[in-house]
Structure 1
Amino acid sequence: MSSQTLRQLLARPSILVIPGIYDCISAKLAEQSGFEVVATSGFGIAASTLGLPDYGFMTATEVLDSVGKIAQSVNIPVIADMDTGYGNALNVMRTVKDAVKAGLAGVILEDQEFPKKCGHFEGKRVIPTIEHVNKIKAAVQARGDSGLVIIARTDARAVLGLDEAIQRGRAYIDAGADVLFVEAPQSVEELQVIAAAFPNVPLVANIIEGGKTPQLSAAELEKMGFKIVFFALSTLLAVTKVMKACLQELKEKGTTKDFTEMMTFDEFKELIEVSKYLDLEKQF
């Protein structure tokens, strides 16, 4: 199972570098590039699916449909950003059960009020600690014996300060979360404080280019004591820039023959395994 593979990877001493992806193509490219795990970006899925910011516009059904297709498209574990779980503890239980059915390896559940916002946006609000504790307990019960990895995220740093975020983190780990994700620390010193507070807990750092957290390397974060580093928007920002440049060149010149930042048609056919399906077509 993909969740057991993820647990084996978490048991290794080295840090896990996990790119954020937002569709099947980005997931397949990450797999092809040698990454062992991918994580869906709620920001990226909202932007690519709806053309809207990460403001809680996506429904549970829409997210599960997207991340389920992504999980089916690759042979590596997929961690899904499941926002707040889409309601109370009972809603979280359904979300987690559906995540297991979809073949996900892990889920991220955050303590924002619904509708939530991107962790690096202003104006976030968080629910009471005990409410998210109960959501985590509900998630643990709902996953059963699936091994689904539960990543508890707190957004309290921006709202109530770092000390409160650390207190919440302890409560969420005590409730049964496997991994802790303190979102958007704002300095190297804050990252160090978080790592020192949880020496025996797998910790997430989330690096957003232009976001609130310092853009440290995986090696630097590993030295601090972090177990996972998400580069949540790197693929989305990169592909958007290249696509914009391609469209501008096409508009200005009426051709793309000199545009070099483009995969060849044969390379793309290989990525989506056209030859495999041609062989199957011949077989049947």
Structure 2
Amino acid sequence: MSEDSWLSPTSIEEWWSTPSQSGIKRPYSADTVASLRDVFPENHHSNAMALKLRSIFGRVQKDKSVNLTTSVIDPVTAQIMAEVGFETLYISGGMSATTDTATNDPGPDLADYTYDTVPKKVSTIYRSQLLQSRTARVNKTGKEEIPLLPIIADADSGHGQHTATMKLVKLFVQSGVSGFHLDDLVSGIKRHDGKDGLSSVLVPTGEYLRRLVAAKLQLDIMGSEVVSIARTDAQTATHITSTIDHRDRPFILGATVPLKQHFIHTEGNSAREEWKREAKLSTLDDHFQSSHPDLYDQFKEETSKMNVSEALSIAQKLVSSFYWNYESPRTSEGWYAFKGGVQAAVSRANVAANISDVVWACAHGYNPDRAEAFAKGVQEVHEGKWMAYNVTGGFPDDGSADEQVKNIPSQLSSLGYVWLFLPIAGLTTVGLGSQTAMKSIKEHGLYGYLSEVSWPAARHAAAADGTSPEWWWKVMGKLADDAADAIGEGL
């Protein structure tokens, strides 16, 4: 592409009309993108890999199947996944936080690691794939060339405000990523034990959209085809930072019974649960409709596109004695109570679908009814929109759920999902394999290593391409040997 074409708003608009870009509704102009571009055209490996990912999603959607993958934390696993037939790879922020952070300080999945942590992991895995591909060609093993798998990565909540999100996206594109997901959570705020009823805390819908727009703008500035995935945690969220956005009003909870003290003055889980029961939490619209059904249509008409503060004022003008208090359930951090669920997830996904290629409602276990409700809610508004689903476990190991688990991919594909991934499976798989090997070595010494690791690896069909102990120093070493021969030749 010439410099003139690269900086031409007309050329940018022509690109936006191509099949990969035409479904996006951008709030900014091609002139803005052109003005923000560097003078020289950019061309990254990620473009070719992103187009490959788009092709995979398009194919499985047409075939009514679903692309299944798992997380990966190391180059060896990535190579083996390619050999056994996986088509995509996933790099989790949580797994990166556990195994490899820029500060060398591993920890839980709180997105509190430096924002270059996951892009660096992507770069390592992507470059390892390039190395494996070169090695296969140079050594002429007789096998088919090892395929390069598109990588989808975890961008968490963007690691800062909008310019930080743009810089993060830039790092991802430069690292070789094919897709990434951005969420609507408050960064670093997550309870894993559900203490005090707190799970996930959302930002307002408008803030969520600004993150997604910032990401798409950076992709456009770079001329990138990388796939953007909008993740929402509204299905399981319990709180939200602000009530300013009218789109969040249907899910803001308030007390319908006046109590002597606010939620923050209660102590202990039991007392707080009792406070919630006594307060009889409800959304503003639900409470007004149930208490004054004869006035609800008027209330609904007069409060269209109003946030809870504005709508509450109208409700109290219509009925002076009407009581609903969204301040009293606030936490000590100032967060507001939120009614999480499928409808909240659908609401956010439908606005995010305008600026993102894929939508995903994060789930903590497989629920077929919720999966169907989310899919229908999205497809009714955005027919054909790509959707993703995650499974982390939660099934009994007594055999009672075996058939259900086996049917999950076909169930999801029938609903229109194109990508099913297992976010924590990469770490679990490596951990289980290491546990078996290390126990044997500890108990039986060298023989334990040979019998449980080395000999089985040598016998394995894939041993010559990644799992044998000789691979890293012998087979891959040929690249270095060839380079050394070329450097010294003729001197």
Whether the 8 Å contact between 1:29 and 1:271 is mirrored in structure 2 is no
Tell me the equivalent position of 1:162. 342
Structure 1 unaligned regions, length at least 5: none
Amino acid at match of 1:183: C
Whether the 8 Å contact between 2:364 and 2:392 is mirrored in structure 1 is no
Whether the 8 Å contact between 1:209 and 1:234 is mirrored in structure 2 is no
Tell me the equivalent position of 2:376. 196
Tell me the equivalent position of 2:205. 129
Shift, 1:277, TM fit: 3.1
The 5 A counterparts of 1:246-257 are 246-255=437-446, 256=448, 257=450
Tell me the equivalent position of 2:324. none
Change beyond 3 A, Cα 1:85–1:133: same
Structure 2 unaligned regions, length at least 5: 1-47, 130-147, 238-339, 396-403, 487-491
Tell me the equivalent position of 2:50. 3
Change beyond 3 A, Cα 1:193–1:31: same
Shift, 1:83, TM fit: 0.9
Change beyond 3 A, Cα 1:249–1:273: closer
- Aligned-residue RMSD, C-alpha: 2.4
Tell me the equivalent position of 1:258. 451
Amino acid at match of 1:18: T
Amino acid at match of 1:6: L
Tell me the equivalent position of 1:97. 170
- Poorly superposed stretches of 4+, deviation over 4 Å: 269-274
Q: Distance in 2 between matches of 1:260 and 1:133?
A: 49
Tell me the equivalent position of 2:230. 152
Amino acid at match of 1:151: I
Q: Number of residues paired by the alignment?
A: 280
Q: Distance in 2 between matches of 1:71 and 1:142?
A: 21
Tell me the equivalent position of 2:425. 234
Which of 361, 364, 372 is matched with 1:182 structurally?
361
CA offsets, 1:113-168, max 9 Å, x none?
Answer: 011559x8742211111101011111111002211100010011111222111101
Tell me the equivalent position of 2:94. 43
Shift, 1:198, TM fit: 2.0
Percent identity of the aligned residues?
24
Tell me the equivalent position of 1:81. 154
**Which is higher, the Rg of structure 1 or of structure 2?**
2
Q: Distance in 2 between matches of 1:153 and 1:271?
A: 39
Whether the 8 Å contact between 1:203 and 1:228 is mirrored in structure 2 is yes
Whether the 8 Å contact between 2:68 and 2:421 is mirrored in structure 1 is yes
Shift, 1:253, TM fit: 2.7
Change beyond 3 A, Cα 1:164–1:80: same
Aligned residue for 2:186, secondary structure, equals coil
Shift, 1:233, TM fit: 2.0
Q: Distance in 1 between matches of 2:480 and 2:66?
A: 39
Aligned residue for 1:254, secondary structure, equals helix
CA offsets, 1:203-231, max 9 Å, x none?
Answer: 111011238xx855322211222111002
Greater displacement, 130-139 / 177-186: 177-186
Q: Does 1:277 align with 2:477?
A: yes
Whether the 8 Å contact between 1:4 and 1:147 is mirrored in structure 2 is yes
